[in-house]
Amino acid sequence: MAILTPDKVVHRGKQILLLRFPFDKQLIKMVKQLPNAAWSKTRKAWYVPYSERMIDEIKKLFNEVAVIDTSVLDEKIAHPILKEYNLTDEATRKIEKLKSWMRSRRYSESTIGTYVGAIKTFLKFYSNKPIAQITNDDIIDFNNRYILANNYSASFQNQVVNAIKLFFAKIENTSINVELIHRPKRPKILPNVLSKEEVKKILEAHSNIKHRAMLSLIYACGLRRSELLNLKPGNIDSKRGLLLVKEGKGKKDRIAPLSNKMITLLREYYKLYKPAVWLFEGQNKEEQYSEESLAKVLKHSCQKAKINKPVTLHWLRHSYATHLLENGTDLRFIQELLGHNSSKTTEIYTHVSTKSIQNIKSPFDDL
C-alpha cells in the first residue's frame, strides 16, 4: 500500500497541504476529487488549501487505499503553547491510569490511542493548573482558544470531548459536570453509494474466484474490511444460510443472511483453495489475507469495470445498506445487519436512497 504524507507549507502566501506519494494513477484520480486540488511544478506534488476539515477529508478518502503518515504534519500544526509545556507528573500518572482502565474494559488499542492523545492535548494546555481545579469554564476556554483558534475540525473537538468526559468521570473526581460538556455540531456527510449496475460490474470483473468471492461477500452481507478478513470457515453456516460475524466493531457478534447464490460461490471457492485457518488466506497458508492486497483487488476490479470513481471497500457496505432500503427492508433490520448501535447511524441511508426521490415530479415539468 502506498504511503501518503501530508505536509503543511506556505505557497504563494497561502497555507496549503502538500500531498506526497509515489506515482499512482488511482491516488491521482482521488486527489482530483478534493476541492481546489492542484499540481505544483516547483514542489512536484499535489496540494490543496490547508484546513483541519481538509485533513479529515483526506483521511476518510485515502484510509483504505494508502497509509497516511501525519508525523510531519502533526509536528507543524502543534500549538506553540503545547510545545512550551510538558505533562506534569500527576497528569502522566493519571493518563496511565486511564489507559489501564480502558484496557480492562477491552477498548481497542486504536480507541485508547485516540483518547490518550486527546486528553494529553487538553492537560498540556492546562499544565500550569492542578487537575482538581479544572472546571467546565476551562473546557469552554480550551475550545475557543485552542480548537477554534487553530481552525481544528468538529471531529477533533468531539474526540477531545469524549476523552475529557471519560477521564473526569472515571479517573479524576472534580467539580466538573461531564453532562454539561457540550459537543460541536458535526457536518452531515452523505455516504458514497454505487448503483446496482456498477456493483455488478465490479463483482464480475475478476475471473479469479477468490477475489470475486471476497468482494461479493462484502457487498452480500454489508461487511467492514476487517470483518471480512477475520472470517474463518466455521463462520459460514450453509445449512441455515447464515454468516456469523465474530467481534465486529465494538466487539459485537452479529449474523447476516447468506443467499443460495453466495453460498454456491463460496463452495466453489472452498473446493479450489481449501482454506485452513482463515476463510481468505494470504499467499502463505494459514496467514490472514492483508488489507493492502484486498484494496488492490478492488482497485483492479474498478479498472477492469471501467469505473473511474474513487471507490473504496466501504462503498460496497454503503451500497448494500442503501439497496436493502430501496428494496423495502425495514430500517430496524438494516441496523441489526450492519451492527449499528444507534438507529440514527442507519437513518443516514434514507438520504441517499433514490426510490422515493425518483418518484417526485419537479414543478419544472409543468411549465
Q: Which of 211, 254, 323, 340 is catalytic?
A: 340
pLDDT in the model for residue 185: 65
Q: Which distant-in-sequence residues (6+ apart) come within 8 Å of 316 by Cβ?
A: 194, 199, 202, 215, 218, 219
The reply to whether 349 belongs to the active site is yes
The reply to whether 251 belongs to the active site is no
Domain limits, CATH 1.10.443.10, in the chain: 196-351
pLDDT in the model for residue 278: 93
Fold of the CATH domain 2-77: Translation Initiation Factor Eif1 (3.30.780)
pLDDT in the model for residue 217: 94
Q: How many CB atoms lie within 10 A of CB 75?
A: 10
The reply to whether 340 belongs to the active site is yes
How far is it, in rounded angstroms, from Cα 269 to Cα 247? 24
What architecture (CATH level 2) is domain 81-180? Orthogonal Bundle (1.10)
Q: Could you report the per-residue pLDDT of 79-137, keeping only the tens digit for each?
A: 545 555 678 888 899 999 999 999 998 887 778 888 888 898 888 888 888 888 888 88
pLDDT in the model for residue 210: 94
Q: Which three cell numbers stand for residue 136?
A: 467546565
How far is it, in rounded angstroms, from Cα 278 to Cα 232? 4
For 5, the 3-state DSSP assignment is: strand
The reply to whether 317 belongs to the active site is yes
Domain limits, CATH 3.30.780.10, in the chain: 2-77
For 306, the 3-state DSSP assignment is: coil
Using the structure block, give the residue that is written with the C-alpha cell 502506498: 2
Q: Do 234 and 324 form a contact (C-beta atoms < 8 A)?
A: no
Domain limits, CATH 1.10.150.130, in the chain: 81-180
Using the structure block, give the residue that is written with the C-alpha cell 491516488: 27
Angle between helix 291-304 and 196-204 (nearest 10): 110
Q: Which of 224, 232, 246, 304 is catalytic?
A: 224
Residues of the chain under the 50 pLDDT cut = 80
Q: Could you report the per-residue pLDDT of 323-359, keeping only the tens digit for each?
A: 888 888 888 888 888 888 777 777 777 776 666 666 6
pLDDT in the model for residue 200: 94
pLDDT in the model for residue 204: 92
pLDDT in the model for residue 309: 86
Fold of the CATH domain 196-351: hpI Integrase; Chain A (1.10.443)
The reply to whether 314 belongs to the active site is yes
How far is it, in rounded angstroms, from Cα 265 to Cα 73? 45
Q: Which of 53, 249, 296, 300 is catalytic?
A: 249
How far is it, in rounded angstroms, from Cα 317 to Cα 332? 16
Q: pTM of the entire structure?
A: 0.57
pLDDT in the model for residue 80: 47
Q: Which of 124, 211, 317, 323 is catalytic?
A: 317
